[in-house]
Amino acid sequence: MRIVLVGPPGAGKGTQAQFIATHLSIPKISTGDIFRANVSGGTELGLLAKQYMDKGDLVPDEVTIAMVRDRLAEEDARKGFLLDGFPRTVPQAETLKEMLAEWGDKLDLVLELIVDEDEVVRRLSGRRTCAQCGRVSHVVFESGGSGKTVDVCGYCGGQLFQRDDDKEETVRHRLEVYTEQTAPLVSFYANEGILVGIDATGPVEEITERAMAELRPFTK
């Protein structure tokens, strides 16, 4: 199967991508993984991307797409893959479609993880990072749902702090950017007839089961 996973920050894409890819025995491919592999491997594309990343600039589409093309051409992706984090825009989606068509392939399904904005804010703004071991805790989940602030890491006893990325105003801004960039992408795939929405609230296992229920017809 060839799948794309989309959803807002805090929807649990990384977790679901790993579970689904494992269930289907296909590689999970994220742009983050691709970037790190190219940069650490010192590839020509990696060195080029690093020039932009070191300046805090976005890596141009053509560089990102070239990295994705190289990754999808690898042996383990020949019979299927799950893309997480790409495409992010309609032009990227169109390029991916053309790329797969060159190889005689196409996407089977685009899974959209749907979660309410307030739930995303609750999930992300409640996160606390340990200054000592780097583990992430949550003020709601770690306190048994009481909402009481947790100040100390339950793993090593280190002090917890809230990253700037996890502050409510930052989270809401990230959601605005996501909606602006990705709403057209969702419409694009809906028009292609391959978009399926999944309720991404509730226990992780239940969300995975909903996703797999949509995928089972394709795996028979």
**Residue 128 — φ and ψ, nearest 5°?**
-130, 140
Catalytic pick among 50, 69, 88, 172: 88
Per-residue pLDDT tens for 140-183? 665 544 445 568 888 888 898 888 888 899 889 888 888 888 88
The answer to whether 174 is a known catalytic residue is yes
The answer to whether 216 is a known catalytic residue is no
The answer to whether 163 is a known catalytic residue is yes
The answer to whether 69 is a known catalytic residue is no
pLDDT at residue 219 above 80? Answer: no
Q: Which domains does the chain have, with CATH numbers?
A: 2-117+175-219 (3.40.50.300)
**Residue 7 — φ and ψ, nearest 5°?**
165, 160
pLDDT at residue 81 above 90? Answer: yes
Q: In what order do the strands lie in the sheet with 136-138?
A: 136-138, 127-130, 160-161
Percentage of residues in the chain with pLDDT exceeding 90?
A: 51
